């Protein structure tokens, strides 16, 4: 693996097997697990920077951009063909290059990818953390409901407004930052990813194929992933621990990185005896 420099988040940036950037922040202790962070719709790997800072090196962290976002914004053809299965396969290649146990952390669309990759690599994955989770089987919302999401491409104002509706306690600067991340994404990439998370995995099993420990973190102010959605997701796991940050919205990890980091570290400690 070739080191190509440091990113703004302070981690070491390397290249994946397929050549896209992967940012690695090592743990202070060699025996500590590594969290693999998978971002959501309209975001990129930089949304995890505050969370990684709050983890304080107690665990390692690896994050990267999904096709069509962030540093891979030019990968339009790849993004147009992305499926949850292909995204999970990509995440699996990254897991194979991480030394030691892994805790997979996903947010929104990223939770669908996270569950798939965790199930496929249970020998390496110690635990699964789902932030404001989207059901693996998709949201299955009717066209008239998802159409506005699909039309967000290139519309910074609409994206900023939507984020404010789904996370009402985001500050003005936070909204600007998130809008800046999502606005450059190609319009057809945006509409394709809406189809991906809305359709989900066909015939998703009633019980998840991942049998390890699971932590689910919801936002009490999230207008998209409501308490009912969180309950439906948690019911698919044998023993999911559900926590809620009351003022948190859909981007709870971006709004309250310290609180989310503390929950992840507690989860890492609680799963320390789990065989990977």
Q: Is the pLDDT of residue 8 over 50?
A: no
Q: Which of 165, 162, 31, 41 has its CA nearest to residue 99?
A: 31
Q: What digits encode the pLDDT tens for the residues 81-108? A: 999 999 999 999 999 999 999 999 999 9
**pLDDT value, residue 276:** 46
Strands 125-131 and 102-107: parallel
Dump strand ranges (E) for 58-187. 60-64, 102-107, 125-131
Q: Is the pLDDT of residue 165 over 50?
A: yes
Dump strand ranges (E) for 71-212. 102-107, 125-131
What are the structural domains of the chain? 3-270 (3.40.50.1820)
Q: Is the pLDDT of residue 11 over 90?
A: no
Q: Which of 206, 114, 123, 190 has its CA nearest to residue 156?
A: 190
Measured between alpha carbons, how far is 236 from 210 in angstroms, rounded to an integer? 10
Given the structure tokens 């998209």, which residue do they identify?
A: 224
Measured between alpha carbons, how far is 74 from 118 in angstroms, rounded to an integer? 28
Strands 12-15 and 21-25: antiparallel
**pLDDT value, residue 216:** 98
Q: Is the pLDDT of residue 257 over 50?
A: yes
For the chain, the average pLDDT equals 93
Residue 68 is classified by DSSP as: T
Q: What digits encode the pLDDT tens for the residues 207-232? A: 999 999 999 999 999 999 999 999 99
Q: What digits encode the pLDDT tens for the residues 145-157? A: 999 999 999 999 9
109-120 vs 84-95: helix crossing angle, rounded to 10: 60
**pLDDT value, residue 268:** 98
Q: What digits encode the pLDDT tens for the residues 190-200? A: 999 999 999 99
**pLDDT value, residue 19:** 81
| Torsions phi, psi for 146 (to 5 deg) | -85, -15
Q: Is the pLDDT of residue 171 over 70?
A: yes
What's the residue count for the chain? 276
């Amino acid at each position: 693996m070739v080191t190509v420099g440091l990113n703004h988040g302070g981690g070491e940036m390397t290249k994946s097997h397929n050549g896209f950037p992967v940012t690695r922040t090592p743990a202070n202790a060699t025996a500590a697990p590594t969290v693999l962070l998978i971002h959501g719709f309209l975001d990129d790997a930089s949304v995890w920077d505050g969370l990684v800072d709050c983890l304080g090196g107690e665990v390692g962290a690896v994050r990267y951009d999904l096709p069509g976002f962030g540093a891979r914004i030019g990968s339009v053809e790849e993004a147009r063909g992305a499926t949850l299965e292909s995204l999970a396969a990509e995440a699996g290649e990254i897991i194979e290059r991480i030394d030691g146990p892994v805790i997979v952390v996903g947010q929104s669309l990223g939770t669908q990818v996270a569950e798939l990759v965790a199930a496929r690599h249970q020998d390496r994955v110690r635990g699964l953390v789902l932030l404001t989770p989207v059901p693996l089987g998709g949201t299955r919302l009717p066209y008239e409901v998802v159409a506005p999401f699909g039309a967000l491409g290139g519309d910074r104002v609409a994206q900023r407004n939507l984020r404010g509706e789904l996370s009402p306690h985001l500050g003005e600067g936070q909204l600007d930052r998130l809008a800046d991340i999502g606005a450059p994404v190609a319009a057809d990439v945006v509409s394709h990813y809406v189809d991906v998370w809305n359709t989900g995995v066909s015939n998703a099993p009633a019980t998840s194929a991942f049998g390890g420990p699971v932590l689910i973190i919801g936002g009490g102010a999230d207008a998209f992933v409501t308490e009912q959605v969180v309950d439906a997701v948690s019911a698919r796991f044998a023993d999911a621990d559900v926590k809620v940050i009351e003022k948190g919205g859909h981007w709870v990890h971006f709004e309250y990185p310290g609180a989310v980091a503390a929950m992840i570290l507690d989860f890492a400690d609680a799963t320390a005896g789990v065989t990977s």
